[in-house]
Amino acid sequence: MKTRFLLSLAWLCLCASFVVAQTKTENVILVSLDGARCEEVFGGLDLNVLKSKTRSDRKVEDSALYKQFYAATAEERRMKLMPFFWGTLMKEHGSIAGNRALGSAAMTTNKMWFSYPGYSEILTGQAHDEVIKSNDRIRNQFPSVLEFLKGKLKLNDKQVAGFSSWDVMNWIAESKEGSITLNAGYEPYDLNDPRIKVMNEDMKGAPSPWDSVRHDHYTFEFAMAHLRRYQPRVLFLSLGETDDWAHGGNYEQTLKALQRNDGQFKALWEYLQSTPQYRGKTSIIFTVDHGRGPTPLNWMDHGEKVPEAQYIWMAFVSPDSALRGEWKNAETIYQNQVAATLSKWLKFDYAEQNANAGKPIAQLFGGK
């Protein structure tokens, strides 16, 4: 009798651990908005920045941006700027860390606070400040989580894909060139699709103001076309306009880029919900490569000399996480945890590739 009891106890434990190990996630998507500040993501229009951009003989209240995006509270302002992200995604499907006013912080562990080190930390799970010191087009010597997942899931090069507005992503996102689908900068997207062929021509004829960054519209539409055609299990969508307009001091276009990105999130989400391979089986992380300065004098800038540019934000939408809304009084999370978190959702231990990588974000898996 006792043996039977022990045996059934053992069986119960086995079942319980089996249940715990199960996740619904079959696909992962990583979305990044280059240098999108916590101030706008959590608070919408920053009145101090707008005031600093307003001519001294004009009233800030008369500006078109004020009329379009201003409201009394941070919650109302961000809803005006990113209505889908806040009104649907974060309310009904996911959660977001990094609002320090609520006691939640997300940070880089790299001390550089610019793009290549940030994306490399996200994708490889570790900061490498001794090696990665610039945004130069140098092949990343550290393998990315995209490459890791391709190997673990035994996928072909179409089923793991990255689309980026910034051309340097071709060097950052894979350590072995050509192992995954990567399309970045002004690179045409080679797909047998009449609309994409027209877009490739338009991209050449209607460039953005920047040599190395195309408009997010192309990046997004190419990624969506790839998603529809190949149904990748792992997708990286890296949008860039939020950073470049800000560097140019153009606050109006910075906000409008973020607003367009919100519309892209809506289109992406609606596609995922309409597709059996993705609906209820897809986990998404939205994040940023670095922060920026918090004041009207330094909101355009980032980098090690800009205070607070290490503060980032991270949002999670997953059938395997019950968290909703903003994180409050939570332990700080780090940029180097993204790779392990994406892996864990797909039931893999990222430490197999990089034992020094940040660990999966405990709060998403029932921890504190």
Binding site for Zn ion (CB under 5 A): 34-35, 115, 243, 289
Name the residue nearer to Zn ion (CB basis): 244 or 326: 244
Closer to Zn ion by CB, 35 or 294: give it.
35
> Would you call 32 helix, strand, or coil by DSSP?
strand
Kindly state the smallest distance separating residue 116's Cβ from Zn ion, in Å. Answer: 8
Q: State in angstroms the smallest separation of the CB of 220 from Zn ion.
A: 17
CB of 210 to Zn ion, least distance (A): 12
DSSP letter string over 250-312?
-HHHHHHHHHHHHHHHHHHHHHHHT-TTTTTTEEEEEE-S----SSTTTTT--STTSTTTTEE
The residue (of 221 and 289) whose beta carbon lies closer to Zn ion is 289
In sequence order, the β-bridge partners of residue 213 are: 166
Whichever of 127 and 364 has its CB closer to Zn ion, that residue is: 127
When CB distances to Zn ion are compared, the closest residue is: 115
Closest CA to 365 of 350, 354, 342, 353: 342
In whole angstroms, give the CA distance from residue 144 to residue 160.
12
Q: How far is CA 11 from CA 4, 16, 19, 23, 258, in A?
A: 10, 9, 12, 20, 51
The separation between the first and the last C-alpha atoms of the chain, rounded to the nearest angstrom, is 40
CB 68 within 8 A of CB 60: no
Cβ closer to Zn ion: 94 or 117?
A: 117
Q: What does each C-alpha distance from 360 to 41, 71, 317, 338, 357 come to in angstroms?
A: 24, 37, 15, 7, 9
318 vs 336, beta carbon nearer Zn ion: 336
Gyration radius of the chain over CA positions: 21
CB 38, min distance to Zn ion, A: 14
Is the CB of 34 or the CB of 147 nearer to Zn ion?
A: 34
Task: For the CB of residue 243, give the shortest distance to Zn ion in the complex, in Å.
Answer: 5
In whole angstroms, the minimum distance from the beta carbon of 32 to Zn ion comes to: 9
Residue with tokens 């010597």: 141
Query: Which CB sits closer to Zn ion, 34 or 40?
Result: 34
User: Between residues 35 and 94, which has the closer beta carbon with respect to Zn ion?
Assistant: 35
Both structure tokens of 235: 């997708």
Least distance CB 30 / Zn ion (angstroms):
15
Query: Which helix (H) or strand (E) is 315 found in, with range?
Result: strand 314-317
| In the complex, least distance from residue 168 CB atom to Zn ion, rounded to whole angstroms | 10
In angstroms, the Cα distances linking 24 to 27, 28, 287, 288, 346 are 9, 11, 22, 25, 8
Angle (nearest 5°) at CA 188 between 198 and 221:
65
**Minimum separation from the CB atom of position 143 to Zn ion (A):** 21
